[in-house]
Structure 1
Amino acid sequence: MPLAPHVTIPGCGVVRGVRVQGQPSVAQFLNIPYATVPERWRPAVKATPWTGVRDASRQGPVCQQPKSPNAIVSMASPDFDEDNEEEYAKVYSEKHCLNLNIYAPYDHLQDKSGNKPSSSKPLIPVMVWIHGGGFKDGSNAMDMYDSSNFVAHSIHNVGRPVIVVVINYRLNYFGFLASAELVQDVQSDKRLPSSSSEKAVGNWGLLDQKIALEWVQDHIEAFGGDPKDVTAFGESAGAASIGYHMAIPSHHGLFQRAILQSGATTTMPAGRPLFEGQRRFDQLCQHFGLLRPDLTPAQRLEHLRKMSAKELVTAGDHGKTGMFTPTIDGVLIKSDVREWIHDATRYDPGLKAVMLGDCRDEGKMFVPELGCKSLKHWPRFKARYCPPGEEKEFEAIYGEPKTNEEAADISAVVISDSVFLYPIHATSASLLQQVKHKEQGQEPAISRDVVRFHFDRPLKVVEDMGMGLGAHHAVELPFLFGSDIYLDLMTEEEKALSKQMMTLWILFAWGETSRQHSLKNGLDSLLPADVGVQRKEALVFTENCTVEKTLVERLDARTLAFWRRSEAWIKAKREKQSSPGAKL
């Protein structure tokens, strides 16, 4: 049995991990604390050093989250007894959920005395994964995010070793709750510096992510990682998070490359404390019977603060609450992010490369919650997305359903376009606008690669269930990580596609996106052949399990123009709602 790897992390302590069974070239370190939560609805603080050797062989606790009928996101085993407090604390902890898992090439670790890797082992790129889940659920404990095979592939098949870090952050009521009561509570807290992000409200989850990325900057060198060569990658809410970090000035410099999968900033647009936030807060109070006239707002908040995390999160069990979002708190996020996405000057100028993409049938799995399942509800669905006076244009683009099935199908496409494809396109366009190419012999002010991809392959085992989801939201994740639990369910063609996807992500993290590099898989490069804002070429993971670099237009000019007008209409409605005297 190989010796357990030990790493001395300067400023933290010594951790003892494991060499992954079946992949001894990969060392795994679980449950490394990067911060703790001293108080509910307050900023986290960086973790304190520990003495002795910390056992990093077992998964750490995650943020409490509502019960879900989806077994994929469930954090507990089927026989988990939540009434057993000792067992419950091993799975969930509000105070100690801010931990991270590290998967690193064993040969790149420092030696046992804490010295850096030898000169023959230079520091290698680092990839930090931010999970999705609608800011409501998910964690680094999910089997899907086991990065052992991903790192092993980078070593043995690509020859470009990487380190993968998978983080937790606060979710749902703990990370993204906002209201007038919480704003007043935070603003009146004299312990918090008035001129810092510590006065932020409803964005504690984003601040947790920032601390995790700072931890990587400060400590990943102990594992052989290069703190100046970090790629942040994430899916859905994780991709939206990265979009926020790219646009918040105080978060610039945390990573050099980014991969946004099925999401951008306006996929999860920040809400307002006195409107979207307040409604959720009042629903929470109503669930616990706290909307009584004998309780002041401050007393309601105090009741919620005194509840156990286990009790508090039950308010969202079994779909009682939808997805959460960040908050326009006037501190971290100061305005409607629909303004941000088109402002090229907001994005981190230090970003070297950004890759953005989507799945072909993003909207299908959201039809039950966000879509339209019958003709009866079609007018209401249409009114939610279509500005007044644009009905004919909407019908010309998407058609008018004549059956319940058509209503569901069209609503799925509308959700795909408005929530995923349009925000991704708008972000791509702004990132390209920020790149000023050589004109009249002048050097570009910013040099950056922008890559687009589309994932069109359904997972056969899901298709065989007859659910009709196609290449649904998050379908690419089993392919990307290639964890054993999912490889066992894949066809041989799907396993081959998984290796191709891992290869491309690894090469991206290594900066091999330009034409000077000859990529594997028959591609000349990750970059399209043409340049400019109107670039339409993209990588396509096809339904036939091939990877092609091809011209593709998922949203034509007419559709893009419609969603630009719809976006402006929604923004104007929000401004009117926020005006003095407007009712909630």
Structure 2
Amino acid sequence: MAGPQVNIPNLGRLQGMQAENQPFVAKFLNVPYAIVPERWRPAVKAAPWTGVRDATVQGPVCHQPMSENPLVSMSMDGVDEDDEEAYSRVYNEEHCLNLNIFGPHDQLDKTKNKPLIPVMVWIHGGSYKDGSNAMNLYEASNLVAHSIKALGRPVIVVTMNYRLNYFGFLSSAELVQDVKSDTRLSSTNNEKSVGNWGLLDQKIAFEWVRDHIGAFGGNAKDITVFGESAGAASIGYHMSIKSHHGLFHRAILQSGCVTTMMAGRAEIEGQRYFNNLCKHFGLDKTELSGAEKLARLKKIPAKDLVKAADNGKVGMFLPTIDNVLICGETREWVHDPSRYDPGLKSVMLGDCRDEGVMFVPVLGARTLKRWPRFFAKHCAPGMEKEFEAIYGLPKTDAEAAQISAVVLSDSVFLYPLHVTSQALMGGGATGLRKEPLEMSRFHFDRPLQIVEDMNLGLGAHHAAELPFVFGSDTYLDMFTEGEKALNKKMMKVWILFAWGETSREHGLRHGLNSLLPSDVGVQKREAITFTEECTVEKKPVERLDARTLAYWRKQEHLVKMQNEERARKQRESRL
């Protein structure tokens, strides 16, 4: 079969390739959707090209720190940092905004007059710090092939890169002033947003898909976005930022939503990262003004800048409450049905059984010595007895780690997903939507056998479902026979969701009562559960009981009040 080509009106012609082991699948790599003209400024849409553009080689990704997690590692093994040409093929600040597109080869033949098919757009996770569409984990050839050969429901899959860490999510008082004073930027189109460049990159990527996916045989009016962790949180932001409504029609949020990656403030959370950057480069030891510090940081090579995140003092990055793109406290957003895109047709949200375990070393209490600090963060004054009644108190290091894992699962993943589900369903109840939203919940309970054999005690950990969603060759070779079968079942659910069929089969059709935990007397078995035995069953929707939900509602309210009081004192101190 000849190498596929596609002519994209108003852009140019692409030369793609046939997927290595899937002759029915065409791949187009490194398709530019935007470029970065200047650090800490909005990206601009990619310009047309002349001739035939080679789309057979993976494009560069955003510079990122080394990761200890092999699932997201983008280490430079085999890349000479001093070889600028080779290095820039892997990491490139200006040209990292590209797409990989996987689709049925048949769809490119315009003589067959085939109907347009659904499109699935993937946003990778990685704490807004690392990850990319270059990872073998997200190679979508087998997912597309399964949609064609096994289901007769072909889809196109698009995986995007976007700016990360210091390049996409840095904010500070200095940056706010710098952007505010830039007369080249318009106050419209969110050009003066600060600390949210990665989210704005994603928006441009969606606009590219909307405008050009028809050339690949995709239906721009039937787009499903799916993402995990920070990728799922990104979807939550797009669903609840009015100027981003209409970018997609269906959404799958895997282990995340807005309050999983809660937007910080430029002058507090963002400022710490900026100050850390200045300290790393010795700019804090001089009498430089904020503008001078920023000017020097802009001149530091990207490969050196990103190393500042390798020093152990920088964990995850966050979007920013900049009062341009993101206005107000996101703890309030998540409960407000009026914020969510009324044009959404269906949403599926879900979690892994042991989400919190992986985060205990960084966010939890591995020992009793670390417990008091963890406890103070997750238990507001006056709520001690309620916390103990639900979670207990540790007497050993092992118990401290175990309780930390459960608390992190509940507070960072399960509770935010629950209240997001409530708000989404509430839009129909309050008359905000013309048509009812079809919504499904899923739980993933299968630990990866290869990880279990390492005796790491991670269980069905955060991101454990990803190999099963994509089924790339790298992970197929690691699966047991049962896991291979589960991979096919999971791909089917995701593909049929993009076709509007999973939601009809498993949708929550009983209103808000379907979201309530079983101990309040509502017995609905509506969630799609991928079990430890590699089966797919319907199980109870919620894993939080009424008492636990009430605890986190109260905790959320108290933290909000504390933040408001802190902000009030800061305002008074500036007067």
Relative to the length of structure 1, the TM-score reads: 0.94
Q: Distance in 2 between matches of 1:542 and 1:437?
A: 35
494, 499, 507: which one aligns with 1:505:
494
Residue of structure 1 in register with 2:142 after alignment: 149
Does 1:231 find its partner at 2:224?
yes
User: Match of 2:518?
Assistant: none
After superposition, where does 1:249-264 map in structure 2 within 5 Å?
249-264=242-257
Q: Distance in 1 between matches of 2:483 and 2:303?
A: 40
Shift of 1:402: 1.1
How far residue 569 of structure 1 moved from its aligned partner, in angstroms, is 1.6
Question: For 1:318-357, what aligned pairs fall within 5 Å after superposition?
Answer: 319-357=312-350
The offset of 1:571, in angstroms, is: 1.6
Tell me, yes or no, if structure 1 residue 189 matches structure 2 residue 146: no
Residue from 472, 494, 503 that aligns with 2:461: 472
Equivalences for 1:411-450 in 2 at 5 Å?
411-436=404-429, 445-450=434-439
Per-residue CA shift, 1:368-426, capped at 9, x if unaligned?
A: 00000111221111110111100000000001111100000000000000000111001
SS of residue paired to 1:198: coil
Aligned pairs for 1:302-381 within 5 A: 302-317=295-310, 319-381=312-374
Larger deviation, residues 174-183 vs 565-574: 565-574
What is the SS of the residue equivalent to 1:311? helix
Q: Which has the higher helix share?
A: 2
1:300/1:444 Cα in 2 relative to 1: closer, same or farther (>3 Å)? closer
Shift of 1:581: 3.1
Matched residue, 1:219? 212
1:35-46 → structure 2 map (5 Å cutoff): 35-46=34-45
Match of 2:502, SS state, is coil
Partners in 2 of 1:326 and 1:502 — Cα distance? 30
Amino acid of the structure 2 residue aligned with 1:337: T
Question: Where in structure 2 are the equivalents of 1:255-294 lying within 5 Å?
Answer: 255-294=248-287
1:86-165 correspondence to structure 2 within 5 Å? 86-109=85-108, 111=109, 116=110, 118-119=112-113, 121-165=114-158
- Give 2:484's match in structure 1, choosing from 465, 490, 495: 495
Question: For the aligned residues, what is the CA RMSD?
Answer: 1.5
Structure 1 residues 552 and 331, CA, compared in 2 at 3 Å: closer, same or farther? closer
CA distance in 2, matches of 1:326, 1:140: 20
**Which residue identity is paired with 1:269?**
M
Distance across 2 between alignment mates of 1:73 and 1:498? 20
Partner residue of 1:173? 166
How far the C-alpha of 1:21 sits from its partner, in A, is 1.7
Shift of 1:576: 1.8
State the 1:572 CA deviation. Answer: 1.7
Aligned pairs, how many? 563
- Find the aligned partners of 1:142 and 1:19 in 2 and give their Cα distance: 18
Superposition deviation, residue 294 in structure 1: 1.7
Partner of 1:520: none
| Structure 2: distance between partners of 1:530 and 1:182 | 47
SS of alignment partner, residue 56 of structure 2: coil
Distance 1:151 1:276 in 2: 40
Provide the rounded CA distance (Å) in 2 between the counterparts of 1:268 and 1:207: 16
Contact 1:371 1:381 in 2 (8 A): yes
Are residues 1:486 and 2:475 paired?
yes
Identify the residue that residue 532 of structure 1 maps to in structure 2.
Answer: 512
State how far apart, in whole Å, the 2-side matches of 1:458 and 1:533 are. 30
Following superposition, the deviation at residue 254 of structure 1 comes to: 0.3
Are the equivalent residues in 2 in contact too, given 1:354–1:451 (CA < 8 A)?
Answer: yes
Match of 1:53 in 2: 52
Aligned equivalents of 2:243 and 2:479: distance in 1?
A: 42
Alpha-carbon deviation of 1:513?
3.5
CA displacement, residues 557-576 of structure 1 (integer Å, 9 cap, x when unaligned): 11111111111122222222
Between 1:498-507 and 1:310-319, the stretch displaced more is: 310-319
The answer (yes or no) to whether the contact 1:355–1:453 under 8 Å persists in 2 is: yes
Aligned to 1:555: 544
Measured in 1, the distance between the counterparts of 2:545 and 2:344 equals 28
Aligned to 2:519: none
2:320 and 2:503 map into 1 onto residues whose CA distance is 37
The offset of 1:76, in angstroms, is: 4.0
Partner of 1:11: 10
Counterpart-to-counterpart distance in 2, 1:534 and 1:104: 36
What per-residue deviation string (whole Å, max 9, x for no partner) do you get for residues 294-319 of structure 1?
21111000010011101100101164
Structure 1's 417 and 307: CA in aligned 2 closer, same or farther, altered over 3 A? same
Could you tell me which amino acid in structure 2 is paired with residue 581 of structure 1?
E
Question: Equivalent residue of 1:501, what SS?
Answer: helix
Separation in 2 of the partners of 1:444 and 1:292?
55
Q: Distance in 2 between matches of 1:415 and 1:117?
A: 54
Partner of 1:565: 554
CA distance in 2: counterparts of 1:27 and 1:75, whole angstroms: 25
Alpha-carbon distance in 2 for matches of 1:582, 1:151? 57
Separation in 2 of the partners of 1:203 and 1:255? 19
Query: Is this contact kept in 1: 2:346–2:503, CA < 8 A?
Result: no
Shift of residue 237 of structure 1? 0.1
Give CA-to-partner distance per residue, 1:342-371, whole Å, 9 cap, x none.
000000000000000000000001000000
- What's the secondary structure of 2:78's corresponding residue? coil
User: Structure 1, residues 23-49: CA drift from partner, whole Å, max 9, x if none?
Assistant: 010000000000000000000000000
Report how far residue 56 of structure 1 moved: 0.3
Q: Does 1:80 align with 2:79?
A: yes
TM-score (norm 2): 0.96
Q: Percent identity?
A: 65
- Corresponding position of 1:518: none
Distance across 1 between alignment mates of 2:85 and 2:67: 22
Consecutive unaligned residues in structure 2, runs of 5 or more:
516-523
Q: Secondary structure at the match of 1:95?
A: coil
The aligned residue for residue 447 of structure 2 is 458
The residue type paired with residue 549 of structure 1 is K
What whole-Å deviation, never above 9, does each CA across 1:218-247 have from its counterpart, x for those lacking one? 000000000000001000000000000000
Among 230, 240, 247, the alignment partner of 2:240 is 247
**Aligned partners of 1:407 and 1:457: how far apart in 2?**
24
1:409 is matched with: 402
**Partner residue of 1:295?**
288
Map Cα deviations across residues 444-496 of structure 1 (whole Å, 9 max, x no partner): 73321010000000000000000000000000000110000000000000000
Query: Residues 117 and 478 of structure 1: is their aligned pair in 2 closer, same or farther, counting only changes over 3 Å?
Result: farther
